[in-house]
Amino acid sequence: MQCLSSSDSEVRNLKITISYSGRDLHGWQIQKNALTVQECFQNALEEVIGCVPDIKGCSRTDTGVHANMYVISMKTEHRITCERLKAALNRYLPLSIVVLDIVEESDDFHARYSCKGKRYVYKILNREVRDPFSDGYALHYRYNIDVDMLNNAAQDYVGTHDFTSFCTLDKREKGDFTRTVKSFSVWREGDFVYMSVEADGFLYNMVRIMVGTLLKIQQGKLAPDSISDIIKAENRKEAGPTAPACGLYLDQVYY
C-alpha cells in the first residue's frame, strides 16, 4: 500500500545506506516476475511502517551485481526513530540485504540526483582452479594477470572523456556520454585481483566494459597503450567485451 500524505504532518527525508549481495537478486529496480532489491526493501518497509513511501535508489544495478554501499532516500511522515527503523528493517529484509545506517537529511537530498560520484570495485579470482567461496562473487580468470602492466594501461581511462566506446547502446542512455574518471587502480591481494574506478558518473555497463578491455589487453589481443585510441573512436566495437556481473561491486557513493 502506498503511503498517503497529509499536509499538516512533519515530513522527514531519510538517507538509508544498505549493502546487498546481488547473486540471487535481479538488480535494484522493481520488475515483474523477478525479485529485486527495491521490491524486497518495499516489502520490508510495508511490514515496519504499514505502507510504502516513494523510495529513490542511487543507481540502477544489474542482475548479479553487488553493493558494499548503496544509498536510498525516502520521505516519510512516520515518526519511528532512525535507529529503530534500521533494526526493524533488518529483521524483515532477506539475509542478502542489510541496512547499515539511517540518518535524517535536509529536504532537498535525493539519493540519485544529489550524488557527486561513485566508486566501483571489480573482483577477479586469479588462479588456476575455481574457489567454492567465490562462486557468484568474483570472475574466475585462470591465467596470471600482470597487475602492474594493467594498472599502467588503465591510467588512460583517467580524465574527462566521451565514453561512448564503453557504453552498451541502450535507450536508457540519452544525451551526454562524457564522464570524468577520477582514478583507476589495479592491484593484487593473494589469489584475488581488484580493479577500482571512481568517477562522477557511469554509463550503462561502463565499468564492466572497462574491465573486459583490460582483460583483452592481458590476453595480448589489444596493445597496452590502446585505451586512448578506443576512447577517441567513440565506438563500442573497439573496446573489449562486457565482463560478467558477478565480479562487480558498487563500493562507495559520494555526496
Which residues are part of the catalytic machinery? 62
**Nearer to its own copies (CB atom), residue 15 or residue 66:** 66
- d(C-alpha 124, C-alpha 150), whole Å: 13
- d(C-alpha 20, C-alpha 28), whole Å: 10
Q: At its nearest, how many Å lie between its own copies and the CB of residue 216? A: 25
What value, to the nearest 5°, has the Cα angle with vertex 14 and ends 12 and 17? 170
Tell me the helices (H) and strands (E) count for the chain, helix number first: 5, 10
Q: At its nearest, how many Å lie between its own copies and the CB of residue 196? A: 17
**Nearer to its own copies (CB atom), residue 64 or residue 240:** 64
Residues in contact with its own copies by CB under 8 A are 19-21, 66, 86, 90, 95-100, 129-133, 135, 137
User: For the chain, how long is the longest CA-to-CA vector?
Assistant: 65
**Nearer to its own copies (CB atom), residue 132 or residue 220:** 132
211: its cell numbers: 574491465
- d(C-alpha 18, C-alpha 99), whole Å: 4
Q: At its nearest, how many Å lie between its own copies and the CB of residue 76? A: 21
Q: Give the closest residue to 213 by CA, choosing from 181, 167, 169, 161.
A: 167
31: β partners? 34
Q: At its nearest, how many Å lie between its own copies and the CB of residue 135? A: 4
**Nearer to its own copies (CB atom), residue 135 or residue 148:** 135
